[in-house]
């Protein structure tokens, strides 16, 4: 007989008040946790939506109405996020040590972004009060009013940098950490940027005659024949500014005022400029080499001395622009129809003026005279629009800002206070060497063997790499510079290809580097190049020469070590204004005894890039990991 065991039923434990309290507390905690998580996800979505709207502002084409709508929608998103994060659930969790960092970070990013958006709306409202440009003049009083609104906006956003920098992101989800990093990068510099922009507007108002009449020299550079500051100074115009009304004279070719090599007269120039470029008559009335310094303010000072001697009139300011800048202006003003029926657009201007213009005339001196005439007419048609009111001021400002970021347009003023503001805003084209490390490489066209030289730099294709390994006390920088002559082997006009060695690109290449650095290697295509660095400003420059047949290419490698003495590592990577933008690969990473987030970029080299990192020891587990990697990767030396 089988016995069936019936399990004994444990008697139910009575629900004591304490057990009830524990269950209720647990349920409340779980509810608050779920509430906080849902709120965080919702708020983060709103913040990301607002950030996307702000980043898309640049693509609005400078339309104030579209920008205003985008700002309104971004503000609505951020207010929604703020309301969500102020609910009791997330507000309570934000007070929990460590665990609350996530909600605190999301809220701080939201508040900072909302401050910036509201400040931007105030500035935009001031911009929309009345046109800044119209009736063939710039309203300098409106410019001053906008500058004042920017300073108010800067005050309103004053707390943003400290609020973001004080956030602790350890033990927060990767998405939150990433958003905080983006906010610090995109919003942390807003107050200082607004003040710099306000100072720039005041300085530009001064250049345009708000505080007395000014004489301006406007120079157009030809990127088909490179100089350190950009392209050869090809044509120029004189202008006078009175209370925002700019009277621009006709553009003239420099050959009309330049003196030949045998009859040049020297002009005053900085000592280091004369030491480096004096042998090329760059400080004389030859004109064509006056902008060999990559530091555009230095070249502008030389140009003022040239104008004073050759034109008998000293400019108070110099505006430098090149053909890519012309293209950007056309993007804001619309196409320009020239007297010969040709149409210049943003898309075709570079090729039309730097390539097709040479093939469209007879390959004779008379033909080149006709090409120069057409270039002067093109400059008259396009540059005159800057002051005519034919384009919305915001659209034109965005276009010129983009051009200035790539050093395709620059402004220099003889008045020190104005120049400081222009330089601080990044609109002067200065090679500012106020960082630990400076990476800039320039090409100077050394011609085709005859007095006319060549115009092959339209075909220069450049790829630059800057790779840095930062230790606690030193940084090792490795730079490569790859230059390709993409010109066709035949078919180019003689004026473009050169006479003695048609199609051969002869380039004098300069590599700027920090004065405190020690050069470890300088080579071309793997072969060591013996060269002595020369002083230029507060940095040094090392030079080499290359002659490249059509289709040929060469690569330089420069490696140097820069001491840090326990200070942060800062780097400026500065582009040369080319007809076709270079490509840049940037990689700044910690070495074996330092820790920080690596900085990487790969893409067009169309603007100056600045990197600042603070090398530190890292956490104990990071130090152990580095020691293990060092043990297994370093070779054993007996």
* Predicted local confidence at residue 230, as pLDDT: 94
pTM of the predicted structure, to 2 decimals: 0.86
Arithmetic mean of pLDDT, 564-582: 95
Q: Tell me the chain's radius of gyration from C-alpha atoms.
A: 30
Arithmetic mean of pLDDT, 178-185: 85
Mean pLDDT of the chain: 87
Whether the predicted pLDDT of 12 surpasses 70: no
CB-based contact 428:437 (threshold 8 Å): no
Residue 510 — pLDDT band, cuts 50, 70, 90? very high
Whether the predicted pLDDT of 449 surpasses 80: no
* Predicted local confidence at residue 297, as pLDDT: 97
Question: Which range is most confident: 56-65, 74-83, 136-145, 224-233?
Answer: 224-233
The crossing angle, in degrees rounded to 10, of helices 17-55 and 174-187 is: 40
* Predicted local confidence at residue 638, as pLDDT: 41
HSE toward the beta carbon, residue 514, CA cutoff 13 A: 24
Least trusted range by pLDDT, from 173-182, 556-565, 586-595? 173-182
Arithmetic mean of pLDDT, 175-182: 84
The partner residues of 589 in beta bridges, in order of sequence, read: 469
Whether the predicted pLDDT of 386 surpasses 70: yes
Token pair of 241 as six digits: 């500014």
Token pair of 611 as six digits: 């990197």
Higher-pLDDT residue of 430, 102: 430
pLDDT (tens digit per residue) in 230-276: 999 999 999 999 999 999 999 999 988 998 888 899 999 999 999 99
Residue 363 — pLDDT band, cuts 50, 70, 90? confident
CA 61 → CA 328, 366, 392, distances in Å? 12, 41, 10
HEC per residue, 132-175: CEECCEECHHHHHHHHHHHHHHHHHCCCHHHHHHCCCCCCCCHH
pLDDT (tens digit per residue) in 318-342: 999 999 999 999 988 888 887 777 8
* Predicted local confidence at residue 637, as pLDDT: 44
């Amino acid at each position: 007989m089988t016995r069936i065991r019936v399990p004994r039923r444990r008697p139910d434990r009575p629900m004591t008040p304490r057990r009830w309290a524990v269950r209720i507390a647990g349920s409340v905690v779980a509810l608050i946790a779920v509430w906080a998580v849902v709120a965080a996800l919702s708020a983060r979505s709103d913040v990301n939506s607002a950030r996307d709207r702000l980043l898309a502002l640049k693509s609005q084409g400078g339309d104030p109405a579209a920008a205003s709508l985008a700002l309104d929608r971004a503000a609505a998103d951020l207010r929604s996020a703020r309301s969500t994060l102020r609910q009791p659930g997330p507000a309570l969790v934000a007070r929990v040590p460590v665990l609350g960092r996530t909600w605190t970070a999301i809220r701080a990013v939201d508040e900072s972004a909302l401050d910036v958006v509201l400040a931007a709306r105030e500035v935009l409202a001031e911009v929309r009060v009345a046109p800044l440009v119209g009736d063939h003049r710039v309203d300098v009083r409106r410019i001053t009013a906008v500058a004042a609104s920017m300073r108010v906006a800067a005050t309103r956003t004053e707390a943003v940098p400290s609020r973001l920098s004080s956030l602790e992101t350890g033990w927060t989800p990767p998405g939150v950490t990433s958003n905080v990093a983006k906010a610090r990068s995109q919003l942390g510099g807003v107050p200082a940027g607004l003040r710099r922009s306000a100072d720039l507007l005041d300085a530009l108002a001064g250049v345009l005659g708000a505080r007395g009449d000014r004489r301006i020299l406007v120079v157009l550079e030809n990127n088909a024949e490179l100089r350190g500051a950009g392209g050869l100074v090809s044509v120029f115009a004189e202008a006078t500014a009175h209370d925002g009304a700019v009277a621009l004279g006709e553009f003239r070719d420099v050959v009309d005022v330049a003196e030949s090599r045998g009859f040049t007269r020297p002009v005053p120039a900085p000592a280091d400029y004369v030491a480096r470029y004096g042998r090329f008559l760059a400080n004389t009335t030859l004109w064509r080499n006056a902008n060999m310094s990559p530091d555009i303010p230095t070249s502008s000072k030389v140009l003022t001395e040239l104008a004073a001697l050759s034109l008998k009139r000293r400019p108070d300011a110099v505006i430098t622009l090149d053909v890519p800048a012309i293209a950007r202006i056309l993007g804001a003003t619309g196409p320009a129809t020239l007297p010969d029926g040709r149409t210049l657009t943003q898309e075709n201007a570079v090729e039309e003026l730097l390539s097709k213009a040479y093939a469209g005339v007879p390959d004779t001196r008379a033909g080149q005279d006709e090409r120069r005439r057409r270039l002067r007419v093109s400059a008259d048609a396009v540059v005159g629009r800057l002051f005519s009111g034919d384009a919305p001021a915001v659209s034109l400002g965005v276009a010129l800002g983009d051009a200035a970021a790539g050093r395709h347009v620059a402004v220099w003023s003889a008045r020190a206070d104005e120049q400081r503001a222009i330089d601080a805003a990044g609109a002067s084209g200065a090679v500012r060497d106020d960082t630990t490390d400076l990476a800039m490489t320039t090409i100077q066209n050394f011609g085709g063997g005859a007095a006319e030289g060549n115009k092959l730099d339209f075909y220069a294709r450049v790829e630059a790499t800057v790779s840095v390994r930062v230790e606690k006390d030193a940084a090792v920088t490795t730079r490569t510079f790859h230059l390709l002559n993409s010109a066709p082997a035949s078919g180019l006009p003689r004026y473009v290809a050169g006479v003695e060695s048609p199609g051969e690109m002869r380039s004098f290449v300069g590599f700027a580097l920090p004065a405190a650095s020690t050069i470890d290697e300088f080579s071309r295509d793997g072969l060591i190049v013996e060269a002595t660095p020369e002083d230029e400003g507060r940095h040094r420059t090392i030079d080499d020469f290359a002659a490249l047949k059509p289709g040929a290419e060469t690569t330089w490698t420069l490696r140097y070590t820069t001491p840090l003495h326990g200070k942060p590592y800062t780097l400026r990577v500065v582009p040369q204004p080319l007809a076709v933008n270079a490509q840049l690969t940037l990689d700044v990473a910690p070495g074996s005894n330092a820790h920080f987030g690596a900085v990487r970029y790969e893409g067009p080299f169309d603007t100056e890039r600045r990197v600042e990192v603070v090398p530190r020891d890292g956490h104990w587990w990071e130090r152990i990991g580095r020691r293990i990697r060092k043990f297994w990767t370093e070779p054993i030396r007996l």
